[in-house]
Amino acid sequence: MRKTEIATENAPQAIGPYSQAIAVGKTLYCSGQIPINPATGNIESTDITEQTHRALNNVHAVLAAAGADMNDVVKTTVYLTDLNDFATVNAIYGEYFEKPYPARSCVQVAALPKNAKIEIEVTARLRDKL
């Protein structure tokens, strides 16, 4: 199957040798999104609430570029630098997804790029092949 790169200016540009997302068949593999404002290229808040909303909005933008939305997400992985933020992140996460919720993993990591507190990656189904 052919790999198709998905890219949008509505989400942060890759800060390394990777794509925002790759579509293969009817599956979309999205790179992790940290809370960078795509308009400025910066993380504009140290608050976990604001960072979580920004990261999820970035995920949404990448999905939209592929013709998908949050309801198409089947698996997420959430990386946190502090698991004490889990309850806050979980509450916000629930605002972006509907039942049946995607499968999810959540892990604490030592650090994330640009000192982000959160990174979220998703795998989604594509309704139509690209």
Task: Show the domains of the chain with their CATH numbers.
Answer: 3-125 (3.30.1330.40)
Contact residues for 45 (Cβ-Cβ < 8 A; gap 6+)? 35, 51, 54
Q: Please list the active-site residues.
A: 106
Q: For residue 128, is pLDDT > 80?
A: no
Label residue 130 by pLDDT band (50, 70, 90): low
pTM for this prediction: 0.96
Residue with tokens 């540009």: 13
Question: What percentage of residues in the chain have a pLDDT greater than 90?
Answer: 94
Cα distance between residue 45 and residue 59, in whole Å: 18
